[in-house]
Structure 1
Amino acid sequence: MTEVRQRIAEVQSEYLYEMLQEIKKRPGMYLGKCSITRLRMLLDGYGLAQCELGLPRTDQEREFNGFQDWIQQKFNITSSHGWDSIILFYSADERDALDNFFKLFEKFQNGESPLPN
Protein backbone atom coordinates (compact mmCIF):
# COMPACT_ATOMS: atom_id res chain seq x y z
CA MET A 1 0.00 0.00 0.00
CA THR A 2 2.86 2.37 0.76
CA GLU A 3 4.25 1.89 -2.76
CA VAL A 4 0.86 2.80 -4.23
CA ARG A 5 0.67 5.99 -2.16
CA GLN A 6 4.19 6.94 -3.13
CA ARG A 7 3.45 6.39 -6.83
CA ILE A 8 0.22 8.42 -6.61
CA ALA A 9 2.11 11.23 -4.88
CA GLU A 10 4.75 11.21 -7.63
CA VAL A 11 2.17 11.28 -10.43
CA GLN A 12 0.06 14.10 -8.99
CA SER A 13 2.79 16.05 -7.24
CA GLU A 14 1.79 19.44 -8.69
CA TYR A 15 -1.55 18.76 -10.35
CA LEU A 16 -3.92 21.29 -8.78
CA TYR A 17 -3.28 24.26 -11.07
CA GLU A 18 -3.25 22.04 -14.15
CA MET A 19 -6.60 20.62 -13.07
CA LEU A 20 -8.02 24.13 -12.61
CA GLN A 21 -6.90 25.04 -16.14
CA GLU A 22 -8.68 21.99 -17.53
CA ILE A 23 -11.83 22.91 -15.61
CA LYS A 24 -11.60 26.46 -16.97
CA LYS A 25 -11.52 25.11 -20.54
CA ARG A 26 -14.45 22.71 -20.08
CA PRO A 27 -16.34 23.47 -16.85
CA GLY A 28 -19.47 21.58 -17.90
CA MET A 29 -17.51 18.37 -18.33
CA TYR A 30 -15.92 18.57 -14.89
CA LEU A 31 -18.66 20.30 -12.90
CA GLY A 32 -21.87 19.33 -14.72
CA LYS A 33 -22.70 23.02 -15.10
CA CYS A 34 -20.84 26.31 -14.79
CA SER A 35 -21.00 26.90 -11.06
CA ILE A 36 -18.54 28.24 -8.51
CA THR A 37 -20.35 26.23 -5.83
CA ARG A 38 -19.71 23.03 -7.77
CA LEU A 39 -16.07 24.03 -8.25
CA ARG A 40 -15.72 24.47 -4.49
CA MET A 41 -17.33 21.07 -3.88
CA LEU A 42 -14.96 19.42 -6.38
CA LEU A 43 -11.91 21.02 -4.74
CA ASP A 44 -13.13 20.03 -1.28
CA GLY A 45 -13.57 16.45 -2.50
CA TYR A 46 -10.12 16.52 -4.08
CA GLY A 47 -8.59 17.62 -0.77
CA LEU A 48 -10.55 15.06 1.22
CA ALA A 49 -9.46 12.23 -1.09
CA GLN A 50 -5.83 13.23 -0.69
CA CYS A 51 -6.20 13.36 3.07
CA GLU A 52 -7.89 9.96 3.17
CA LEU A 53 -5.06 8.50 1.06
CA GLY A 54 -2.51 10.02 3.41
CA LEU A 55 -0.92 12.09 0.64
CA PRO A 56 1.11 15.14 1.61
CA ARG A 57 -0.05 18.58 0.51
CA THR A 58 1.79 19.92 -2.52
CA ASP A 59 3.32 23.38 -2.89
CA GLN A 60 0.41 24.42 -5.12
CA GLU A 61 -2.14 23.26 -2.57
CA ARG A 62 -0.38 25.15 0.21
CA GLU A 63 -0.20 28.23 -2.00
CA PHE A 64 -3.90 27.91 -2.91
CA ASN A 65 -4.76 28.12 0.80
CA GLY A 66 -3.65 31.76 0.59
CA PHE A 67 -6.37 32.47 -1.97
CA GLN A 68 -8.92 32.73 0.84
CA ASP A 69 -7.02 35.55 2.55
CA TRP A 70 -6.34 37.23 -0.81
CA ILE A 71 -10.08 37.25 -1.66
CA GLN A 72 -10.98 38.55 1.80
CA GLN A 73 -8.50 41.42 1.37
CA LYS A 74 -9.68 42.09 -2.20
CA PHE A 75 -13.30 42.53 -1.10
CA ASN A 76 -12.53 43.85 2.40
CA ILE A 77 -14.35 40.95 4.06
CA THR A 78 -13.59 39.98 7.65
CA SER A 79 -16.31 37.36 8.08
CA SER A 80 -15.69 33.64 7.80
CA HIS A 81 -17.36 33.29 4.37
CA GLY A 82 -15.43 31.10 1.94
CA TRP A 83 -13.79 32.45 -1.21
CA ASP A 84 -16.58 30.91 -3.29
CA SER A 85 -19.35 32.64 -1.31
CA ILE A 86 -17.56 35.99 -1.46
CA ILE A 87 -17.03 35.80 -5.21
CA LEU A 88 -20.63 34.66 -5.74
CA PHE A 89 -21.94 37.57 -3.68
CA TYR A 90 -20.14 40.03 -5.97
CA SER A 91 -21.23 38.25 -9.17
CA ALA A 92 -24.46 38.14 -11.19
CA ASP A 93 -24.92 34.36 -10.86
CA GLU A 94 -23.07 31.04 -10.52
CA ARG A 95 -21.68 31.17 -14.08
CA ASP A 96 -20.46 34.74 -13.69
CA ALA A 97 -18.93 33.81 -10.33
CA LEU A 98 -17.05 30.91 -11.93
CA ASP A 99 -15.70 33.23 -14.64
CA ASN A 100 -14.74 35.75 -11.95
CA PHE A 101 -13.00 33.01 -9.96
CA PHE A 102 -10.67 32.25 -12.86
CA LYS A 103 -9.93 35.96 -13.43
CA LEU A 104 -9.22 36.52 -9.75
CA PHE A 105 -7.23 33.31 -9.40
CA GLU A 106 -5.01 34.35 -12.31
CA LYS A 107 -4.29 37.65 -10.55
CA PHE A 108 -3.55 35.75 -7.33
CA GLN A 109 -1.17 33.41 -9.17
CA ASN A 110 0.58 36.36 -10.79
CA GLY A 111 1.24 37.83 -7.37
CA GLU A 112 -0.94 40.89 -7.88
CA SER A 113 -1.91 42.76 -4.77
CA PRO A 114 -5.54 42.27 -3.78
CA LEU A 115 -5.70 45.93 -2.77
CA PRO A 116 -6.25 48.76 -5.26
CA ASN A 117 -3.25 50.96 -6.03
Structure 2
Amino acid sequence: MALASSPGMCEQGDNGSQTVRRSEFVDDLGGSDFFGTPFVHVIETAFDRRLLCHFLPNDPWLLAFLRRVSVRPGMFLGDENVRTLAVFIQEYCQARVDLGMPEFGATESSLLAEFEKWLATKLDDTRDVAWPTLIAADDPGERNVRAFFSRFEEFLRERGDSLSHSADVPWPP
Protein backbone atom coordinates (compact mmCIF):
# COMPACT_ATOMS: atom_id res chain seq x y z
CA MET A 1 0.00 0.00 0.00
CA ALA A 2 1.44 3.41 -0.93
CA LEU A 3 0.34 6.71 0.59
CA ALA A 4 1.34 10.30 -0.07
CA SER A 5 -0.01 13.64 1.09
CA SER A 6 0.82 16.64 3.27
CA PRO A 7 2.21 16.31 6.82
CA GLY A 8 -0.38 16.28 9.57
CA MET A 9 -3.31 15.62 7.26
CA CYS A 10 -6.07 13.34 8.52
CA GLU A 11 -8.63 11.64 6.37
CA GLN A 12 -11.31 9.03 6.81
CA GLY A 13 -10.10 5.49 6.10
CA ASP A 14 -12.04 2.70 4.41
CA ASN A 15 -13.20 1.19 7.70
CA GLY A 16 -14.10 4.44 9.47
CA SER A 17 -10.59 5.04 10.77
CA GLN A 18 -8.64 8.23 10.27
CA THR A 19 -5.17 8.25 8.78
CA VAL A 20 -2.54 10.92 9.39
CA ARG A 21 -0.37 10.98 6.31
CA ARG A 22 3.10 12.26 5.62
CA SER A 23 4.57 13.50 2.35
CA GLU A 24 6.81 10.44 2.10
CA PHE A 25 5.62 7.27 0.40
CA VAL A 26 4.86 4.37 2.68
CA ASP A 27 5.09 0.98 1.02
CA ASP A 28 4.70 -1.17 4.11
CA LEU A 29 2.46 0.17 6.89
CA GLY A 30 3.86 -2.37 9.32
CA GLY A 31 7.48 -1.52 8.56
CA SER A 32 9.72 0.82 10.43
CA ASP A 33 13.29 1.67 9.76
CA PHE A 34 15.48 4.50 10.90
CA PHE A 35 15.92 6.33 7.61
CA GLY A 36 12.81 6.13 5.51
CA THR A 37 9.75 4.23 6.47
CA PRO A 38 7.66 6.03 9.08
CA PHE A 39 6.83 4.29 12.33
CA VAL A 40 3.17 3.40 12.61
CA HIS A 41 1.28 3.84 15.86
CA VAL A 42 -2.29 2.77 16.51
CA ILE A 43 -4.20 4.90 18.99
CA GLU A 44 -7.62 4.05 20.37
CA THR A 45 -10.11 6.88 19.90
CA ALA A 46 -13.27 7.55 21.89
CA PHE A 47 -15.55 5.40 19.72
CA ASP A 48 -13.21 2.44 19.25
CA ARG A 49 -11.94 3.82 15.97
CA ARG A 50 -8.28 3.59 15.26
CA LEU A 51 -6.05 6.47 14.24
CA LEU A 52 -3.00 5.46 12.25
CA CYS A 53 -0.22 7.99 12.62
CA HIS A 54 2.91 7.78 10.53
CA PHE A 55 5.97 9.32 12.14
CA LEU A 56 9.50 9.74 10.96
CA PRO A 57 12.26 9.34 13.57
CA ASN A 58 13.22 13.04 13.43
CA ASP A 59 9.66 14.37 13.72
CA PRO A 60 9.22 16.77 16.66
CA TRP A 61 7.36 15.34 19.64
CA LEU A 62 8.35 17.25 22.78
CA LEU A 63 6.13 20.33 22.44
CA ALA A 64 3.12 18.27 21.36
CA PHE A 65 3.63 16.02 24.38
CA LEU A 66 4.07 18.91 26.81
CA ARG A 67 0.96 20.63 25.45
CA ARG A 68 -1.13 17.54 26.17
CA VAL A 69 0.37 17.00 29.62
CA SER A 70 -0.14 20.66 30.57
CA VAL A 71 -3.92 20.24 30.32
CA ARG A 72 -4.10 17.24 32.71
CA PRO A 73 -0.68 16.46 34.18
CA GLY A 74 -1.97 14.05 36.81
CA MET A 75 -3.54 11.87 34.12
CA PHE A 76 -0.25 11.49 32.24
CA LEU A 77 2.19 11.50 35.14
CA GLY A 78 0.29 10.13 38.13
CA ASP A 79 1.06 13.26 40.15
CA GLU A 80 1.86 16.91 39.49
CA ASN A 81 5.49 17.03 40.51
CA VAL A 82 8.08 18.43 38.09
CA ARG A 83 10.52 15.64 38.91
CA THR A 84 7.96 13.08 37.69
CA LEU A 85 7.68 15.01 34.42
CA ALA A 86 11.46 15.04 34.07
CA VAL A 87 11.67 11.28 34.66
CA PHE A 88 8.86 10.66 32.14
CA ILE A 89 10.67 12.70 29.47
CA GLN A 90 13.98 10.98 30.26
CA GLU A 91 12.42 7.51 30.02
CA TYR A 92 10.51 8.38 26.85
CA CYS A 93 13.82 9.51 25.30
CA GLN A 94 15.43 6.24 26.39
CA ALA A 95 12.59 4.24 24.81
CA ARG A 96 13.13 6.13 21.54
CA VAL A 97 16.86 5.31 21.66
CA ASP A 98 16.03 1.65 22.37
CA LEU A 99 13.91 1.66 19.21
CA GLY A 100 16.78 3.10 17.17
CA MET A 101 15.38 6.62 17.04
CA PRO A 102 17.00 9.87 18.19
CA GLU A 103 15.97 11.13 21.64
CA PHE A 104 14.37 14.27 20.23
CA GLY A 105 13.15 15.49 16.89
CA ALA A 106 15.64 17.41 14.78
CA THR A 107 14.34 20.82 15.89
CA GLU A 108 14.04 19.95 19.59
CA SER A 109 17.40 18.48 20.50
CA SER A 110 18.61 21.50 22.47
CA LEU A 111 15.29 22.92 23.67
CA LEU A 112 15.42 21.70 27.28
CA ALA A 113 19.10 22.66 27.64
CA GLU A 114 18.29 26.17 26.39
CA PHE A 115 15.33 26.32 28.77
CA GLU A 116 17.59 25.29 31.64
CA LYS A 117 20.06 28.12 30.89
CA TRP A 118 17.21 30.61 30.45
CA LEU A 119 15.58 29.54 33.72
CA ALA A 120 18.83 29.78 35.70
CA THR A 121 19.31 33.31 34.40
CA LYS A 122 15.68 34.23 35.07
CA LEU A 123 15.88 32.94 38.65
CA ASP A 124 19.36 34.37 39.14
CA ASP A 125 20.58 30.93 40.19
CA THR A 126 24.30 30.33 39.65
CA ARG A 127 24.30 26.66 40.65
CA ASP A 128 24.97 24.05 37.98
CA VAL A 129 21.71 22.10 38.37
CA ALA A 130 19.09 20.70 36.01
CA TRP A 131 15.79 22.42 35.20
CA PRO A 132 13.69 20.21 37.55
CA THR A 133 15.84 21.35 40.48
CA LEU A 134 15.47 24.99 39.41
CA ILE A 135 11.68 24.65 39.20
CA ALA A 136 11.60 22.88 42.59
CA ALA A 137 13.60 25.77 44.09
CA ASP A 138 11.19 28.27 42.52
CA ASP A 139 8.11 26.34 43.71
CA PRO A 140 8.92 23.79 46.44
CA GLY A 141 5.36 22.40 46.55
CA GLU A 142 4.40 18.87 45.51
CA ARG A 143 2.26 20.20 42.63
CA ASN A 144 4.98 22.30 41.02
CA VAL A 145 4.56 21.00 37.48
CA ARG A 146 2.27 23.98 36.86
CA ALA A 147 5.20 26.27 37.69
CA PHE A 148 7.21 24.42 35.05
CA PHE A 149 4.52 24.96 32.42
CA SER A 150 4.22 28.62 33.33
CA ARG A 151 7.99 29.18 33.06
CA PHE A 152 8.30 27.03 29.94
CA GLU A 153 5.51 28.93 28.19
CA GLU A 154 7.23 32.20 29.12
CA PHE A 155 10.49 30.84 27.66
CA LEU A 156 8.73 29.80 24.44
CA ARG A 157 6.97 33.18 24.10
CA GLU A 158 10.34 34.96 24.28
CA ARG A 159 11.45 32.73 21.40
CA GLY A 160 8.31 33.52 19.42
CA ASP A 161 6.74 30.12 20.02
CA SER A 162 4.07 28.62 22.26
CA LEU A 163 2.80 25.24 23.38
CA SER A 164 -0.46 26.08 21.62
CA HIS A 165 1.42 26.17 18.29
CA SER A 166 1.92 22.42 18.65
CA ALA A 167 -1.84 21.76 18.70
CA ASP A 168 -1.85 20.23 15.22
CA VAL A 169 1.19 18.01 15.78
CA PRO A 170 0.12 14.43 16.47
CA TRP A 171 1.55 12.62 19.47
CA PRO A 172 2.92 10.03 20.28
CA PRO A 173 5.67 9.69 17.71
Q: Would you call these one fold, judging by a TM-score over 0.5?
A: yes
Counterpart check, 1:66 vs 2:114: yes
Q: Which structure 1 segments of 5+ residues have no match?
A: 113-117
Alignment equivalent of 1:31, drawn from 74, 77, 82: 77
Alignment equivalent of 2:134, drawn from 86, 96, 106: 86
Bigger fraction of residues in strand: 2
Counterpart check, 1:103 vs 2:150: yes
Bigger fraction of residues in helix: 1
Give the 3-state SS of the residue equivalent to 2:108 in structure 1.
helix
Q: Which protein, 1 or 2, shows the higher relative CO under an 8 Å CA cutoff with sep ≥ 6?
A: 1
Deviation at 1:12, TM superposition (A): 7.1
| TM-score normalized with structure 2 length | 0.57
Q: Deviations over 1:36-93 (max 9, x none)?
A: 1100100111121222223233112332331111111111222221111111112140
Farther-moved stretch of structure 1 (62-71 vs 24-33): 62-71
Identity over aligned residues, as a percent?
25
1:115 alignment counterpart: none
Q: Which structure 2 segments of 5+ residues have no match?
A: 1-30, 40-54, 160-173
Give the 3-state SS of the residue equivalent to 1:76 in structure 2.
coil
Deviation at 1:34, TM superposition (A): 1.0
Bigger radius of gyration among the two: 2
Alignment equivalent of 1:22, drawn from 49, 68, 76: 68
Rounded to whole Å, the distance in 2 between the matches of 1:49 and 1:5 is 15
- The alpha-carbon distance between structure 1 residues 79 and 4, as it changes in their structure 2 partners (threshold 3 A), is same
> Where do residues 41-60 of structure 1 align in structure 2 (5 Å cutoff)?
41-56=87-102, 57-58=104-105, 59-60=107-108
- The alpha-carbon distance between structure 1 residues 81 and 51, as it changes in their structure 2 partners (threshold 3 A), is same
| TM-score normalized with structure 1 length | 0.80
Give RMSD over aligned pairs: 2.0
Preserved CA contact (<8 Å) 1:36 1:98: yes
